[in-house]
Amino acid sequence: MSKVRIGLVGIGSMGTAHAQYLIANEVEGAELTAVCEQSEERLQMFAEEFGSSVACYNSYEAMLDSGLVDGVLIATPHYFHPEQAIKALNKNLHVLIEKPGGVYTKQVREMNEAAAKAGKVFSIMFNQRTNPLYCKLKELISSGELGEVRRMNWIITDWYRSQSYYDSSGWRATWANEGGGVLINQAAHQLDLWQWATGLMPTRIRAFCSFGKHRNIEVENEVTAYAEYENGATGVFVTSVCESPGTNRFEVTGDRGKIVIEDGKMTFSRLRVLESEFNSTFKGGFGQPECWKFEVPVVGKNPQHKGITQNWVDAINKGTPLIASGEEGIKGLMLSNAMLLSTWTDNWVDLPIDEDLFYKKLQENIRNSRSTKNPLESRTLNVSGTH
């Protein structure tokens, strides 16, 4: 079996991290054969070090047409993802894109259609789906171990970003270029995990976004969202990038008790009988079901980005099912879009959302933008410790 020849698009902060593990041959069945980068400075630096084995392009089209790549890994700013992905799929290349799939759901839908037409493997870098903690949660919910889900509360505020971070890239935190803030960038992972691990999408959402809180940016950087589900369950999702040290605590209650993920550990407070069963038979005053609290053993490490790239390569080489397919990538983005739309309309948003209304409101924000940032200006950040 020949190796999948990967073309890497964008060698900024995230792209450089991808290049490193690919060049170190840490993804089995794959090799980095080409990179493409708009910044002459970055491209030259890369060429000086790796130019002998990796072809360097400043034109995306030239790389796609080079015959040197079977698939592309796209690590450009978000707003390039849909266009670049569709171009590659239309040239019969496999595609793996950094999250988010797009800024609005219609973009992901179009990529999925192009992938289906080309019959190529299209995946999105949801590198938290390979986190054993959330894999375990998914298993405990889907197997019925927790009973019917009733209430959720996820506080995910440990994505601290300083003003300096926002100032480092001209495209960041602007409506025109990043297309959003914490929802589209940092918390995109948790929004994806929220629906993926629980298997639940809300029927409607009421959300409250703060824009440019404690920071000189125009997009949302603190969000509280309330969600309602078909089975009567409710959920709260809170995210912020201006808190330190922040919290990452996900609580899910069900008919069988409560699971809490915090500090990298999973605690299960498990009832011996279902709450609903206890309630229907108990005849006393203040009693409640017997509960056993324990830490759930969670085995393994999260292979992160490399794990998703490996899965994409395996899907190409051996037909391995995708961990994060394009079809699935739309769901977290739907939640994200719904939260902004609810804030913009100061009202409930039913799901699936009105895609045209979201697009219209986003364009209004772009037109009304007062950002003076230059999207082409940026400096490379060390992304170790980020996701």
Min separation Cβ 1 and its own copies, Å: 39
**What single string gives the DSSP state of each residue in 265-285?**
EEEEEEESS-HHHHHHH--SS
Out of 240, 337, 343, 378, the only residue in the binding site for its own copies (CB under 8 A) is: 240
* Burial track 16-28 (b if 16+ CB lie within 10 A, e otherwise): bbbbebbeeeebe
Q: Which of residues 327-386 bind its own copies (CB under 8 A)?
A: 381-383, 385-386
Whether omega for the bond prior to residue 132 falls within 30 degrees of 0, making it cis, is no
Which of 189, 204, 179 minimizes the C-alpha distance to 345?
204
Q: Which amino acid belongs to residue 53? A: S
Please say which residue, 6 or 155, places its beta carbon nearer to its own copies. 155
Tokens at residue 45, please?
A: 């630096």
Please say which residue, 84 or 157, places its beta carbon nearer to its own copies. 157
Min separation Cβ 276 and its own copies, Å: 7
252 is an interface residue for its own copies by CB under 8 A: no
Q: Which amino acid belongs to residue 14? A: M
267 is an interface residue for its own copies by CB under 8 A: no
Out of 38, 276, 369, 371, the only residue in the binding site for its own copies (CB under 8 A) is: 276
Out of 44, 59, 231, 244, the only residue in the binding site for its own copies (CB under 8 A) is: 244
Out of 41, 53, 143, 283, the only residue in the binding site for its own copies (CB under 8 A) is: 283
189 is an interface residue for its own copies by CB under 8 A: no
- 3-state SS class at 177: coil
295 is an interface residue for its own copies by CB under 8 A: no
Please say which residue, 52 or 281, places its beta carbon nearer to its own copies. 281
Please say which residue, 95 or 259, places its beta carbon nearer to its own copies. 259
| H or E segment and range at residue 89 | helix 81-90
For the chain, the straight-line distance linking the first and the last C-alpha, in angstroms and rounded, comes to: 32
Out of 39, 58, 247, 302, the only residue in the binding site for its own copies (CB under 8 A) is: 247
CA atoms of 291 and 259, how far apart (whole Å): 12
Please say which residue, 228 or 354, places its beta carbon nearer to its own copies. 228
Q: Which residues contact 162 (CB under 8 A, 6 or more apart)?
A: none
Out of 52, 164, 368, 372, the only residue in the binding site for its own copies (CB under 8 A) is: 164
**What binding mask, one character per residue, do residues 73-112 give for its own copies by CB under 8 A, x or -?**
----------------------------------------
Q: Where are the alpha helices (DSSP H) in 241-354?
A: 275-281, 304-318, 326-345
Out of 42, 129, 215, 305, the only residue in the binding site for its own copies (CB under 8 A) is: 215
CA atoms of 248 and 336, how far apart (whole Å): 18
Contact segment (CB under 8 A) with its own copies among 133-141, 182-190, 246-254, 364-372 equals 246-254
CA atoms of 211 and 272, how far apart (whole Å): 45
220 is an interface residue for its own copies by CB under 8 A: no
Which of 259, 253, 223 minimizes the C-alpha distance to 235?
253
140 is an interface residue for its own copies by CB under 8 A: no
Contact segment (CB under 8 A) with its own copies among 66-74, 76-84, 152-160, 178-186 equals 152-160
Which of 215, 209, 204, 198 minimizes the C-alpha distance to 154?
198
Query: In this structure, what DSSP letter does residue 363 have?
Result: H
304 is an interface residue for its own copies by CB under 8 A: no
CA of 166: how far to CAs of 76, 163, 181, 184, 209, in Å?
Answer: 16, 5, 10, 14, 18
Out of 68, 291, 357, 366, the only residue in the binding site for its own copies (CB under 8 A) is: 291
SS3 content of the chain, % helix, strand, coil (to 5): 35, 25, 40
Q: Which residues bind its own copies (CB under 8 A)?
A: 150-151, 153, 155, 157, 160-165, 168, 206, 208, 210, 213-215, 222, 224, 226, 228, 232, 234, 236, 238, 240, 242-247, 251, 253, 257-258, 260, 269, 271, 275-276, 278-280, 282-289, 291, 293, 381-383, 385-386
